[in-house]
């Protein structure tokens, strides 16, 4: 079972023991374990759906909102997609043992820089049951043991998923303790997990700012924050406006409750009067509430649809709206004078996640790429592509908005460190 020990310390210590064995296990065994997990997910889908329905019923009663309900929900197609992601990870090259660099020193000593697992990775996440399996598959393939700590909102779903993954992995030859779940406690349990320096090598929190702040207050274990996404789309003066509308609608509405959805639309002043009336109408038709700056409001009032549906879906933007991750059908809209102003605005309000420019001007695109400080910077494409699966990683544990060790989607290589292997022939230093 995924949870067999009573205390967080005991669970983490058991995972540490498993990680030492995992680091030496052949790729074929790890891949067989992932295949077994994918098969078990399909065979036990009804069990998973029943567990998820318990969580969904409690979440509806708690009125957690449509965006969080969407994150929490499992159905047969989502379970199949999760299983397919596991198989995609199994098919990827094993990063463990990859030689990053190698050379012979003048004294004849051979040096190789080789990728190795981190050891024990703890993943703390909110109401997204798919993370249980995505994170597990990535950690096992990269030779790491995983300790899962999910949200109480998804307690039944996570328990079922972790148990299935653990049982399948052990049956395929991985050590007991490779997959563990800690559950049932509150902030005290989180603090205990975040201070297991002797057994946990890395914590990856995947959630909102409150989770990030809670960990920052107590963590002594290294942390990579897969934090919030206040993502922007800037429509430059040279943009193809038809293309721009499609990108904005996709970035905002395709799945508004995720971290790579656009939360702010910025428009160059030279095309704002031509672009915004139609854009605001399309956003209104898609059920999106706009919080606009004064220039956006002026254009909406002056447009032919100014007294229609688009005007009814616009509110004045407050200062705090520019830095907000809505995770809902709401978007802030502003009009700016230049690409430089857009870069400055994003630098002041962005979260470092994903930013996009729509332009046909190569110089503007280049300035945006160089000037915007974010993990992923797009030219003429939606921010919704920031995803480990879309990047060919099979899945992701989260998207790092930090700059050290890992940035952007956290996949197999990001779950590894490296060591130097040195071979000599009786070498001694004089």
* pLDDT reading at 186 higher than 90: no
279-334 pLDDT per residue, tens = 999 999 999 999 999 999 999 988 765 444 455 589 999 999 999 999 899 999 99
Nearest Cα to 252, choosing from 332, 137, 344?
Answer: 332
Q: Which CATH superfamily is domain 8-224+397-423 in?
A: Aldehyde Dehydrogenase; Chain A, domain 1 (3.40.605.10)
pLDDT (mean) for 38-66? 96
Strand partners, 122: 147, 203
Phi, psi of 362 (to 5 degrees): -60, -40
Structure tokens at 54: 């318990």
Q: What is the pLDDT of residue 209?
A: 76
**Yes or no: domain 231-385 corresponds to CATH 3.30.70.920:** no
- Position 214 scores a pLDDT of 86
pLDDT for the residue numbered 1: 46
> Of the ranges 100-109, 197-206, 373-382, 392-401, which one carries the lowest mean pLDDT score?
392-401
The mean per-residue pLDDT over the stretch 375-386 comes to: 97
Is pLDDT larger for residue 25 or for residue 228? 25
Tokens at 4, concatenated: 């067999």
Using the predicted structure, report yes or no on whether residue 218 has a pLDDT greater than 80: yes
Tell me: the pLDDT tens digits for 340-354?
999 999 999 999 999
Collapsing DSSP states into helix, strand and coil, what is residue 265?
Answer: strand
User: Taking a C-beta distance cutoff of 8 angstroms, is the pair 107, 51 a contact?
Assistant: no
User: Please, what's the b/e burial string for 348-374 (b: 16 or more CB within 10 A of its CB; e: otherwise)?
Assistant: ebbbbbbbbbbbeeeebbebbeebbeb
- The per-residue pLDDT for range 243-286, each reduced to its tens digit, is 999 999 999 999 998 899 999 999 999 999 999 999 999 999 99
- Boundaries of CATH 3.40.605.10 in the chain? 8-224+397-423
- Tell me the mean pLDDT in the region 217-237: 92
Q: Where does CATH 3.40.309.10 sit in the chain?
A: 231-385
The pLDDT score that the predictor gives to residue 184 is 62
pLDDT at 312: 57
Does the pLDDT of residue 109 top 80, yes or no? Answer: yes
User: Averaged over 43-66, what is the pLDDT?
Assistant: 95
Mean residue pLDDT of the chain comes to: 93
Beta strands in 269-358 (DSSP E): 289-292, 314-316, 330-336, 354-358
pTM of the model: 0.86
Is pLDDT above 70 for 3?
no
- What are the φ and ψ backbone dihedral angles of 411, each rounded to 5 degrees? -115, -155
- Size of the chain in residues: 430
Both tokens of residue 315? 């509110």
pLDDT at position 202 is: 96
């Amino acid at each position: 079972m995924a949870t067999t020990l009573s205390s967080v310390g005991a669970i983490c210590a058991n995972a540490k023991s498993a990680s030492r064995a995992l680091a030496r296990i052949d790729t074929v065994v790890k891949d067989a374990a992932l295949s077994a997990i994918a098969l078990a997910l399909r065979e036990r889908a009804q069990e998973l759906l029943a567990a998820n329905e318990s969580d969904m019923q409690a979440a509806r009663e708690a009125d957690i909102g449509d965006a969080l309900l969407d994150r929490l929900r499992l159905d047969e197609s989502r379970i199949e997609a999760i299983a397919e992601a596991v198989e995609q990870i199994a098919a990827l090259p094993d990063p463990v043992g990859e030689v990053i660099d190698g050379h012979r020193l003048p004294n004849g000593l051979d040096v190789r820089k080789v990728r190795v697992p981190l050891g024990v990775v703890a993943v703390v996440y909110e109401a997204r049951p798919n993370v249980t399996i995505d994170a597990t598959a990535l950690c096992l393939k990269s030779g790491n043991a995983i300790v899962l700590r999910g949200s109480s909102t998804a307690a039944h779903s996570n328990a079922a998923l972790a148990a299935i993954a653990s049982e399948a992995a052990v049956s395929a030859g991985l050590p007991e303790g490779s997959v563990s779940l800690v559950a049932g406690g509150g902030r005290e349990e989180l603090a205990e997990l975040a201070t297991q320096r002797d057994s946990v090598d890395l914590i990856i929190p995947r959630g909102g700012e409150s989770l990030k702040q809670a960990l920052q207050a107590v963590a002594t274990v290294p942390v990579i924050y897969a934090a919030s996404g206040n993502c922007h789309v800037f429509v430059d003066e040279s943009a193809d406006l038809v293309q721009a509308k499609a990108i904005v609608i996709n970035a905002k509405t395709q799945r508004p409750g995720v971290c790579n959805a656009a939360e702010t639309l910025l428009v160059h002043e030279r095309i704002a009067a031509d672009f915004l009336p139609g854009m605001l109408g399309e956003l209104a038709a898609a059920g999106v509430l706009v919080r606009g700056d004064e220039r956006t409001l002026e254009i909406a009032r002056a447009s032919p649809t100014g007294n229609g549906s688009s005007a009814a879906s616009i509110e004045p933007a407050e200062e705090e709206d520019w830095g907000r991750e809505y995770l809902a059908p709401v978007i802030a809209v502003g009009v700016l004078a230049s690409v430089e102003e857009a870069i400055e605005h994003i630098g002041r309000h962005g979260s470092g996640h994903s930013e996009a420019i729509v332009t046909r001007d190569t110089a503007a695109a280049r300035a945006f790429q160089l000037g915007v400080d974010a993990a992923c910077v797009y030219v003429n494409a939606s921010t919704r592509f920031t995803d480990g699966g879309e990047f060919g990683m099979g899945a992701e544990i989260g998207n790092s908005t930090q700059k050290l060790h890992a940035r952007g989607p956290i996949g197999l290589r990001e779950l590894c460190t490296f060591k130097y292997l040195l071979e000599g022939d009786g070498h001694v230093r004089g």
